[in-house]
Amino acid sequence: MALRMRILFATVLVATFGLSGAVGAQEESSISANLAVTTDYVFRGYTQTGEDPAVQGGLDWADSSGWYVGAWASNLDFGPGDDASIEVDIYGGYAWEANDVSYDVGLLYYAYPGADSSSGYDFIEAYAGLGYDLDAVSLSGAVHFTPDNFGETGTGWYLTGGLSSGLTDALSVDANVGFSQVTEDFGEDYLDWNLGLSYSFSRLALDLRYHDTDAPDCAGSCDARVVLSLSAEF
């Protein structure tokens, strides 16, 4: 789910262990790999692993022109009797900057290999985001739309915004809020929010994050929780 997507894909919670290198004679493109371990995989306020740990990783290609593609995966657990055990996200888009504002548009496909085909879990989203750096604080916002949401539950919108600030060269804090507008087949509209503190050292990063929602009747899967993630990248 990235922001990575992202607010994510993406988000983040995403801890990364990367492998990067130039592609092409002019080094106009780069490839990076990532790996993460987290105490709970939370997506838009809902645990995807039954509050158990997750191992996550991905691969990205980006060009200096702004085009990018990538893939990301995580283990998951939707409960007894559900065959889904992994999520694979494939995405691509275009990012650019104009007048000190950064923009990002693309498509993201969520796949659940091994899940019963009748579950209708797989779905696609279009997204558009922007960001603005005010030196002391950075602002971000994004909108996601799917014509047929998870479980074949009809259209879905997700609006999100956030702010982040570097407290030191290594320590940063960020806060994010999201609004999910869904059909009755999916459930009720709800808000989710998170507040995180991240510490980076060398190629590693440690993230401690509080999540909560106002979603009703989620049987504990969207209750308040604290998640610890470890990341590394190169």
- 7 token code pair: 């607010």
- Range in 47-51, 73-77, 117-121, 156-160 with the lowest mean pLDDT: 117-121
Element (H, E) at 129: strand 123-133
pLDDT over 70 (residue 190) = yes
- 12 token code pair: 């983040």
- 31 token code pair: 């490839």
Q: What's the rounded mean pLDDT across residues 188-214?
A: 97
Q: What's the rounded mean pLDDT across residues 166-179?
A: 97
pLDDT value at position 213?
98
Cα–Cα distance measured from residue 200 to residue 223, given in angstroms and rounded to the nearest whole number: 28
pLDDT value at position 234?
79
Residues in the chain: 234
pLDDT band at 27 (very low <50, low <70, confident <90, very high): low
> What per-residue string of b and e applies to 223-234 under the rule 16 or more CB within 10 Å gives b?
eebebebebbbe
Alpha-carbon distance values, 140 to 58, 104, 218, 222 (Å): 23, 11, 28, 24
**pTM of the entire structure?**
0.88
Side chain identity at residue 41, one-letter code: Y
Q: What's the rounded mean pLDDT across residues 113-123?
A: 94
pLDDT value at position 9?
36
Query: What proportion of the chain, given as a percentage, has pLDDT over 70?
Result: 88
Cα–Cα distance measured from residue 121 to residue 119, given in angstroms and rounded to the nearest whole number: 5
Do 139 and 130 form a contact (C-beta atoms < 8 A)? no
Alpha-carbon distance values, 165 to 92, 140, 170, 171, 211 (Å): 27, 12, 11, 9, 18
pLDDT band at 219 (very low <50, low <70, confident <90, very high): confident
Do 32 and 233 form a contact (C-beta atoms < 8 A)? yes
pLDDT value at position 233?
87
